[in-house]
Amino acid sequence: MKKTEITEKQALSKLMALCARSEHSSGDMLQKMRLWGLDEAAQARIMERLVSGKFIDDERFTRAFVNDKIKYNQWGRRKIEQVLWAKGVEQSIQRKILDSIDENEYLAVLKPLLKSKERSVTGRNEFERQMKLIRFAVSRGFSMEQINRCLEV
């Protein structure tokens, strides 16, 4: 299948429509433009238009993304950081927003998550069950300190 060329105007129009529907990071948009085969100069011009028109705002995107991932996906900070890095969000923006989240918010998500998971975890002894719960929580992006606080009786 031959890839059809997309013009700069078409790309801008598509990206504006996409950004009007939902939040996206600048990294997401750059990735799309690279896939479409746009040259770097065109990418820079389009990004400038998207940012100046407030279609893209990495800080706004990060706030919404972090809020959704904590509330709905029940992710911890580590996992969120990894995905934001993959989406090309600057470290300074990540840190600013993630540092503004209260530790208790993570714990409020982790406690019921572990309580729910605990019912389905099996093991030969209590140590094995605890290790499975810890592995589960780590895979969700929570720190050992947070996990230990939630598992203490």
- For the full predicted model, state whether its pTM sits above 0.75: yes
Residues 116-135: tens digit of each pLDDT:
999 999 989 999 999 999 99
Q: Name, in order, each residue with C-beta under 8 angstroms of 129's C-beta and a sequence gap of 6 or more.
A: 118, 121, 122, 123
Residues 80-95: tens digit of each pLDDT:
999 999 999 999 999 9
**Residues 134, 139, 142, 144: is their CA dihedral positive or negative?**
positive
Answer whether 60's CB lies under 8 Å from 23's CB: yes
Residues 27-56: tens digit of each pLDDT:
999 999 999 999 999 999 999 999 999 999
